[in-house]
Amino acid sequence: MTRNDAISQLLTAMADDSLIQGHRNSEWTGLGPIMEEDIAFSSMAQDKIGHAWALYRTLHENLGGTDPDRFAFLRGEKEYKCCHFVEMPNGEYDFSLMRHFLFDHAEAIRWEQLQQSSFEPLVPLARKLKGEIKYHTLHANAWITQLCRAGEESYARMQSALNTCFPLALGIFEPNPEAEQLLTAEKVYAGEAALRAQWMDRIYNILAVAGLNLPDENEVTPVYGGRKGYHTEYLQPLLDEMGYVFRLDPEAVW
């Protein structure tokens, strides 16, 4: 494996996570709990899809990847490297909010790291996305803390969503030992274990303010497999849908 192969693996996983998470979140557009939140959540879904697009372009322009649209919309299921967490259907708004909270803090930490990456094309991108991601975590923190202080039902819903989401969220940090060894040695980024530790600290502090109990990370089994191309039953139908128009005529311009 070369340095560029390892970087491509990292970027593909990041981009696929963002794309599928953004796609899922966009399913709420027009159906949200109140108009103001509908608008905010839709903007963040668009941002996620935009982050994915920027990463696919980086793969295309700097690492010999194929056309971003085709790569994003027309690959076979096994070639996607997203974690299972983002594949899950939206469920109720509690699940969607909790996923947004856990995912976006992980994303924030990853992009903070990449501001110092030795892989130069990522540095300006990391700086550019910083403000958007800051809004995403601000939004998520405000919702989590307010709903947890708003009475028994909403508190119980958020705790239950956290319990469901946590093992899945650990899948964001699924190890990829061979690539990580190369990437940390080359100072591309600090590796999944380091990011996960930072993420645990950060979410713990906010969850504590909200009064939620973070499950013990040693007592849950992280949901892995996505980075190796093994997926949930939910991904293939999502991909069929996402590529539906494109596949009517892959040679046409849409």
Return the residue of 5, 66, 79, 90 that touches other proteins, per CB under 8 A.
90
Alpha-carbon span 65 to 227, nearest angstrom: 18
Residues 6+ away with beta carbon under 8 Å from 19: 48, 49, 52, 72, 82
CA distances from 189 to 119, 129, 144, 201 (A): 9, 17, 29, 19
Q: Residue 175, interface with other proteins (CB under 8 A)? A: no
Q: Residue 164, interface with other proteins (CB under 8 A)? A: no
Q: Residue 147, interface with other proteins (CB under 8 A)? A: yes
Count CB atoms within 10 A of the CB of residue 152: 7
Alpha-carbon span 245 to 222, nearest angstrom: 35
Size of the site for other proteins (CB under 8 A): 57
End-to-end CA distance of the chain: 36
Return the residue of 2, 36, 64, 76 that touches other proteins, per CB under 8 A.
36
Q: Residue 138, interface with other proteins (CB under 8 A)? A: yes
Return the residue of 50, 202, 225, 236 that touches other proteins, per CB under 8 A.
50
Report the interface residues with other proteins, using CB under 8 A.
Answer: 23, 26-27, 29-40, 42-43, 45-46, 49-50, 53, 68-69, 72-73, 89-93, 135, 138-139, 142-143, 146-147, 150-151, 153-154, 157, 234, 237-238, 241-242, 244-246, 248-249, 251-254
